[in-house]
């Protein structure tokens, strides 16, 4: 009788130990669960921004090709259009790399504009790539972010004279324009909508872009002279 009870106790202990071992092995072999914490959209930009981003911009320049002359009769820009500027619209999409000193952007751009006066017209297209350094790390929120940049591009021009039915065109080699500007954050105008844009669409910042720029010429005598004085420009930039 005592032997029978002893065996029952031994078997009970063995069963308990075996169950504990199986449970421990099951817990060890259970797959890990990855927990992803969403971005804190209420955190300051300097804390919430990642390494990579995207910037999309559209702006306006008052373009004056001061050294342009007509291939038809040698008329200068001022002869044809006076002091009027070409209303030049410019579009850019840039990859943005953020680092501890600010950010760098790089990407393609395209611009187009037309001016007409007294039966003469000039169409201008510009296409190339741009590089910028933006000091957007100076404050927790980039209320103002100064920047410098350079664009490399080619320009196509088409001039027309309605009275003589003349049309002339030219596409230049590579030239440059150098830019100094200031990005002014607009999110404070409607803070709640700005945060909803960050949470729903990844829109990090909306900027007013104000700048001055100057174009160079290509150095090829056969090209249109694209050199300008300092030009002003303004536009809108979205950062994602």
**pTM, entire model:** 0.78
Distance CA 71, CA 224 (A): 9
Q: What is the pLDDT of residues 33-59, one digit of tens each?
A: 554 445 566 788 989 899 999 999 999
CA dihedral 95, 96, 99, 103 (to 10 degrees): 130
Distance CA 62, CA 76 (A): 18
Q: How confident is the model at residue 11, as a pLDDT? A: 46
Q: Where are the domains of the chain?
A: 50-239
Strand, helix or coil at 150?
A: strand
CATH class of 50-239: mainly beta
Distance CA 106, CA 94 (A): 5
Residue pLDDT tens, the chain, 240 long: 443 444 454 445 545 545 555 445 544 444 555 544 455 667 889 898 999 999 999 999 999 999 999 988 889 999 999 999 999 999 999 999 999 999 999 999 999 999 999 999 999 999 999 999 999 999 999 999 999 999 999 999 999 998 887 898 999 999 999 999 999 999 877 666 666 666 677 899 999 999 999 999 998 988 999 999 999 999 999 999
Distance CA 83, CA 112 (A): 19
Cα 221 to chain centroid, rounded = 34
Distance CA 96, CA 136 (A): 12
- 3-state SS of 204-222? CEEEEEEEEEEECCCCCCC
127, β-bridge pairs = 110, 154
Place of tokens 């804190």: 40
């Amino acid at each position: 009788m005592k032997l029978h009870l002893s065996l029952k106790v031994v078997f009970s202990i063995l069963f308990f130990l075996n169950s504990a071992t199986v449970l421990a092995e099951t817990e060890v072999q259970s797959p890990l669960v990855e927990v992803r914490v969403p971005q804190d959209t209420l955190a300051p930009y300097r804390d919430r921004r990642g390494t990579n981003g995207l910037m999309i911009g559209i702006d306006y320049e008052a373009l004056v090709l001061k050294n342009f002359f007509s291939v038809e009769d040698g008329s200068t820009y001022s002869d044809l259009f006076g002091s009027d500027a070409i209303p030049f619209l410019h579009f850019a999409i840039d990859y943005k790399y953020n680092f501890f000193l600010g950010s760098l952007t790089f990407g393609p751009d395209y611009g187009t504009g037309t001016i007409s006066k007294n039966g003469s017209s000039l169409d201008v297209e510009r296409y190339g790539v741009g590089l910028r350094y933006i000091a957007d790390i100076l404050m927790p929120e980039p209320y103002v972010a100064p920047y410098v940049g350079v664009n490399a591009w080619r320009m196509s021009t088409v001039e027309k004279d309605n009275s003589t039915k003349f049309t002339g065109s030219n596409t230049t080699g590579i030239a440059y324009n150098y830019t100094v500007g200031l990005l002014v954050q607009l999110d404070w105008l409607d803070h709640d909508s700005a945060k909803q844009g960050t949470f729903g669409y990844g829109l990090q910042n909306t900027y007013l872009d104000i700048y001055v720029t100057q174009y160079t010429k290509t150095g090829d005598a056969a090209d249109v002279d694209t050199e300008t004085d300092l030009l002003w420009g303004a536009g809108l930039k979205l950062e994602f």
